[in-house]
Amino acid sequence: MKSFLILFFLISITAIQAQTSDFVGIYILKEDAENGVIQHKMALHEEGTFLFSTFFSPEDTDGKMHEIKSMYGSGKWRVNGNQLFFVVDKEEDFDEDRILDFSKTRARIQKPAPGNTNGESSPDQLVFFDSDIFWIKGLKLNKM
């Protein structure tokens, strides 16, 4: 009986680790804005932490250096089924740069459709479907 329980727990732990390793990676979206470029980047680390950054770089139309505006968010992430949940510690994960609160944010990984006939492979996407950060909801970042 003990052997059976040990085997069961080992299989469960292996399955959980394999599931989370599918999500680990860097996800990016770079898009043109009206007067510059916006880049969103989410790094999901193996140890279960994340760092989100968003940058706005204005166009250089007059030869002057423009200030790049950025915002960050950090914390921990976990998987439940096919959903990612983000957990933020108000004391550890906030400072003068890390101001984005991902505590009520959820996302999922969207795999490319099978049977792509043109020979091109599409990257996995991190799709945010729930967040208190209004511009995060609906955001789709491509896995690098």
Domains in the chain and their CATH numbers? Answer: 2-143 (2.40.128.300)
Tell me the torsion sign for CA atoms 6, 7, 12, 18.
positive
Residue scoring higher pLDDT (58 or 5): 58
What pLDDT score does 33 carry? 82
- Stated pTM of the model: 0.77
The Cα–Cα gap between 79 and 94 comes to: 22
Percent of the chain with pLDDT over 90: 59
How does pLDDT run across 59-90, given as a tens digit for each residue? 776 656 567 889 999 999 999 988 999 999 99
What pLDDT score does 32 carry? 87
